[in-house]
Amino acid sequence: MILDAKIPPGAIDKKWTDYRFNMKVVNPANKRKHKIIVVGTGLAGASAAASLAELGYNVHAFTFHDSPRRAHSIAAQGGINATKDYPNDGDSVRRLFYDTVKGGDFRAREANVHRLAEISNQIIDHCTALGVPFAREYGGLLDNRSFGGAQVSRTFYARGQTGQQLLLGAYQSLMRQVGAGQVKLHTRLEMLDLVTVDGVARGVIFRNLVTGELERHEADAVILATGGYGRAFYLSTNAAGSNVTAAWRAHKRGALFANPCFTQIHPTCVPVAGEHQSKLTLMSESLRNDGRVWVPRKAGDTRSPDQIPEAERRYFLEEKYPSFGNLVPRDVASRNAKQMCDEGLGVGESGLSVYLDFHDAIERVGEGKIREKYGNLFHMYEKITDENPYQVPMRIYPAVHYTMGGLWVDYNLMSTIPGLHVLGEANFSDHGANRLGASALMQGLADGYFIISQTIGNYLVSNALPKITTEHAAFADAERSVKARLDKLLGAKGGTPPAEFHKRLGKILWDDCGMARNEEGLKHALEEIPKIREEFWRGVSVTGSGQDFNLALEEAGRVADFLEFGELMALDALTRRESCGGHFREESQTSENEALRDDENFCHVAAWEHQGKNIASSALHKEPLTFENVHLTQRSYK
C-alpha cells in the first residue's frame, strides 16, 4: 500500500489557501441530502458537528456519555496557542510552525503543521465570539502567557480551565444546531463497529448503553473524533471512560494506525497512592516555573525533607541542564525523574516520586504571591494527598497524559478507508513524537471548525456514493460480529473483574513501553500481553445482562480492545529503533543520555495495517517525512 498524504503542491505558506480554492464545493441545496455521522463530541467532534450543520449538512452526532459536554477535552487546563502576536514579542505563523515541528522532534508533516499554525488565529477569533471567557487585561483586551517552555507569549487561557471553556463553546454551538434541528444528537450510544460497503465507510454499529440495543446508522461519511488511547496504561490523566474502541474497530476494518508508540508522559502529576488508584491527576506544568525538583543524594534516605541539608539534596534537573534547569521539556523532565527513582532515590512511601519544592520561592516572593499564582493547584494537591505544599515539598511523578499516535489520515483528515475521517487526538497528524503545551486544544478545534468543514465537501462531491440503507448486508454482518463479541463477554463466567486485567496490562506497558523502552522490555511486553488477553477471555467476570445499563460489560469491551491495541503499541515501539520525542529507546541515546534520532532509517510515519487475527503480523507501511522548511537538528536543552 502506498500512503498518499495528498499534500498540495506549492510553497508551504500557500498550500492551504490554494487547496481551498481547488477543492470542489457542494451545492448549498444538496448539502442537506448528505448525512454525516460524527462519533465523539469533544473539542474536535462537537466543533465539526456544529460547523457541518451550519453549512447545511444532515449531521448525526454520537457520544457514549450522557451529554456532549462530558468529553475529556474538558479537563485541559493550560491554554491554547495562536500566533496573534498581541504581546509584540515577535511571534508569527512561521515561528509557531517551526516550534511545533521541532518540538515534535521532526516526526510530523510540515504541511499539516503549517496549516495548523495558519488556522490558530481564526480559532481564537471564533471562540471569543462564541463567548469563551478568555483572560483579559485591565484595558479589556486579551491576555497571553508563555507556556510549556515557549519563548514567546502566545498562549490564551481561561483561568486553569481553558479546555472546559473551549469545549463548552463548541458544545453550545452544537446544541444550537440540535435546537435548530440541523443535528440529531444521540447520547449514551457507543460505537462498536464501523460498517464499510465496497471498502468505503458507510455506517456505524452502536450499542445503546441504556437499553443494550444495537443500532445501525448509515451515512455518506463517518467522522471519528474519539480521543486518545492513554488509558491503555490503565493509570493516566485520561478519564475513566476514555478508550480506544472506536479507533481500534476502525483499524480492524482497514484503517491504518500510525505511530501508536508515540505517547506523552507529563512530568508534574500527583504520584500514585496505592493499588486502588483509578486515575492520576495532572497539575499544570507552570509549577516548574517556581518549584525546584530534587531527591536525596543517598538512596534510602527516610528523613523528612526539611531534615535533609542542602548539601545532601540532588537538584538533578538544575545540575544536568544548567541553562534550562527545571524548565526542560516534558519528556526530558519525566525521563530524569524516572531515572532517579530507578536508582533508588525516589521519595514517598512507594519510592516513586520526586520532590517539587517551593520553599525557596516562598522565601523569595512570599507565600501570598505563590498562593496567587498556584493557589488552586496547591489546594487540589492538598485535597488529594492531605499534605500542605506550603509547608512540605510537593511530591510529583510523571503520568501518561496524551497520545500523539492515532489513526493515519491524509491532508484531508481522511483515513485509509475512504469516507472515514479522523479528527483531534484520535488521528496522528500534527504533533510528531512530542506535543508542545497548549497545542492539543488548537489541533482539535482546527480539525473540527476549520478543516473538516472544507475537506469533507470535496470528498462528497468527488465520489459517487450509491444510496444505501441499513438493510444492506454489510450492516447485518457487522451487527452479527458485534453481537457475537458481546455474547462472548457476557458468557465468560470467570471470577476476575475487567479492571484487574486492565491494571496488569497497564503495568506492563508502563514498565516496558513507558518513559524509557528497550528491546528486551518490549519483547517481554509482546510475550506477556497476548497471555493476559487469553486469560482475560477465560477469566473475566461480566455480570448482569446485555439488555441493560451494564457498566461491567462496557468496561470489559474496552479492556478487551486495549489488550489488543497494547500489543500493537509495543510492536511499534520495538520496530522504531530510534529515540525521538516521547519515544525513548535506551539503545539510541547520546553520550549525555539524550534522545538520539536516526533520521536515516526512521524519518517516517509508521502506519500499521491489521492482518486478520494476529496482531504480531500487522503489516508496516511507511510514509516518508521530508523537511524542506525546518531543518533536521538535534534538540538540545543544555
Partner 1 sequence: MNFKLRLWRQANGNAKGNFQEVEAQGVSPDMSFLEMLDEVNNDFLREGKDAVAFESDCREGICGTCSLVINGLPHGPDRGTTACQLYMRKFKDGQTITVEPWRAKAFPVIKDLAVDRAAFDEIISVGGFISVKTGSAPDANGLPVPKRDADSAMDAAACIGCGACVAACPNASAMLFVAAKVSHLGHLPQGQPERQRRVVRMVSKMDELGFGNCSNRNECEAACPKEISVEHIARMNRDYGVSALLGTDRDRSEAGA
By CB under 8 A, which span of 95-103, 134-142, 331-339, 416-424 interacts with partner 1? Answer: 134-142
Q: How far is Cα 63 from Cα 153, in angstroms, rounded to an integer?
A: 35
Using CB under 8 A as the binding rule, the residues of this chain from 595 to 634 that contact partner 1 are none
Nearer to partner 1, 72 or 335 (CB): 72
Q: Does 32 bind partner 1 (CB under 8 A)?
A: no
Cβ-defined contacts of 545-554 (< 8 Å, 24+): 545/212, 545/490, 546/212, 546/486, 546/487, 546/490, 547/211, 547/212, 547/213, 548/211, 548/212, 549/209, 549/210, 549/212, 550/212, 552/497, 552/498, 553/486, 553/489, 553/490, 554/64, 554/190, 554/209
Q: Which residues contact 318 (CB under 8 A, 6 or more apart)?
A: 292, 293, 325, 326
Rounded to 5°, the CA angle 491-496-502 comes to 105
CB of 438 to partner 1, least distance (A): 16
Using CB under 8 A as the binding rule, the residues of this chain from 502 to 561 that contact partner 1 are 541-544, 548-552
Nearer to partner 1, 284 or 336 (CB): 284
How many beta carbons lie within 10 A of that of residue 1, not counting itself?
9
Catalytic annotation present for 330 = yes
Q: Does 142 bind partner 1 (CB under 8 A)?
A: yes
Among 16, 19, 449, 562, binds partner 1 (CB under 8 A): 449
* C-alpha torsion sign, points 561, 515, 259, 80: positive
Q: How far is Cα 357 from Cα 354, in angstroms, rounded to an integer?
A: 9
Q: Does 65 bind partner 1 (CB under 8 A)?
A: yes
Q: Does 491 bind partner 1 (CB under 8 A)?
A: no
Q: Does 89 bind partner 1 (CB under 8 A)?
A: no
Q: Does 134 bind partner 1 (CB under 8 A)?
A: yes
CB of 38 to partner 1, least distance (A): 14
Using CB under 8 A as the binding rule, the residues of this chain from 402 to 431 that contact partner 1 are none
Q: Does 10 bind partner 1 (CB under 8 A)?
A: no
Closest of 439, 415, 551, 472 to residue 203, by C-alpha: 472
Q: Does 243 bind partner 1 (CB under 8 A)?
A: no
Q: Does 281 bind partner 1 (CB under 8 A)?
A: yes
Q: How far is Cα 130 from Cα 164, in angstroms, rounded to an integer?
A: 14
Residue 458 in contact with residue 526, Cβ under 8 Å?
Answer: no
Among 34, 72, 231, 604, binds partner 1 (CB under 8 A): 72
Among 198, 310, 363, 386, binds partner 1 (CB under 8 A): 386
Residue 56 in contact with residue 243, Cβ under 8 Å?
Answer: no
Give the N- to C-terminal CA distance of the chain in Å, as an integer: 42
Among 32, 33, 35, 84, binds partner 1 (CB under 8 A): 84
Q: Does 254 bind partner 1 (CB under 8 A)?
A: no
Residue 537 in contact with residue 492, Cβ under 8 Å?
Answer: yes
Among 83, 100, 112, 165, binds partner 1 (CB under 8 A): 165
State residue 443 phi and psi, 5-degree precision: -70, -45
Give the DSSP per-residue string, 383-411. Answer: HHH---TTTS-EEEEEEEEEE--EE---T
Nearer to partner 1, 131 or 199 (CB): 131
If 0-12 CB within 10 Å is exposed, 13-18 middle and 19+ buried, where does residue 58 land?
middle
Q: Which of 207, 249, 330, 335 is catalytic?
A: 330
Among 153, 208, 496, 629, binds partner 1 (CB under 8 A): 496
Residue 78 in contact with residue 237, Cβ under 8 Å?
Answer: no
Among 210, 299, 484, 619, binds partner 1 (CB under 8 A): 210
Q: Does 392 bind partner 1 (CB under 8 A)?
A: no
Q: How far is Cα 61 from Cα 45, in angstroms, rounded to an integer?
A: 8
Chain centroid offset of residue 559 CA: 18
Using CB under 8 A as the binding rule, the residues of this chain from 322 to 351 that contact partner 1 are none
Nearer to partner 1, 92 or 617 (CB): 92
Nearer to partner 1, 264 or 326 (CB): 264
Total residues at the site for partner 1 (CB under 8 A)? Answer: 87
* DSSP 3-state percent helix, strand, coil across the chain (nearest 5): 40, 15, 40
Q: Does 128 bind partner 1 (CB under 8 A)?
A: yes
C-alpha cell recorded at residue 532: 493476559
Do the strands 58-62 and 183-186 form a parallel or antiparallel pair, or are they unpaired?
A: parallel
Q: Does 352 bind partner 1 (CB under 8 A)?
A: no
How many beta carbons lie within 10 A of that of residue 205, not counting itself?
25
Nearer to partner 1, 450 or 584 (CB): 450
CB of 4 to partner 1, least distance (A): 28
Q: Does 173 bind partner 1 (CB under 8 A)?
A: yes
Do the strands 257-258 and 354-357 form a parallel or antiparallel pair, or are they unpaired?
A: unpaired
C-alpha cell recorded at residue 90: 515577535
Nearer to partner 1, 208 or 470 (CB): 208
By CB under 8 A, which span of 298-306, 378-386, 456-464, 603-611 interacts with partner 1? Answer: 378-386
309 to 17, 313, 421, 625: CA distances (angstroms): 60, 7, 57, 50
Nearer to partner 1, 239 or 414 (CB): 239
CB of 124 to partner 1, least distance (A): 5
Nearer to partner 1, 90 or 140 (CB): 140
CB of 251 to partner 1, least distance (A): 24
Closest of 255, 1, 5, 225 to residue 111, by C-alpha: 5
Q: Does 140 bind partner 1 (CB under 8 A)?
A: yes
Among 3, 23, 273, 476, binds partner 1 (CB under 8 A): 273
CB of 439 to partner 1, least distance (A): 18
Binding mask 429-448 for partner 1 (x = CB under 8 A): --------------------
Using CB under 8 A as the binding rule, the residues of this chain from 40 to 59 that contact partner 1 are 47, 50-51, 54
Among 112, 120, 164, 412, binds partner 1 (CB under 8 A): 164
Among 9, 28, 278, 462, binds partner 1 (CB under 8 A): 278
- What residues are labeled active site? 330
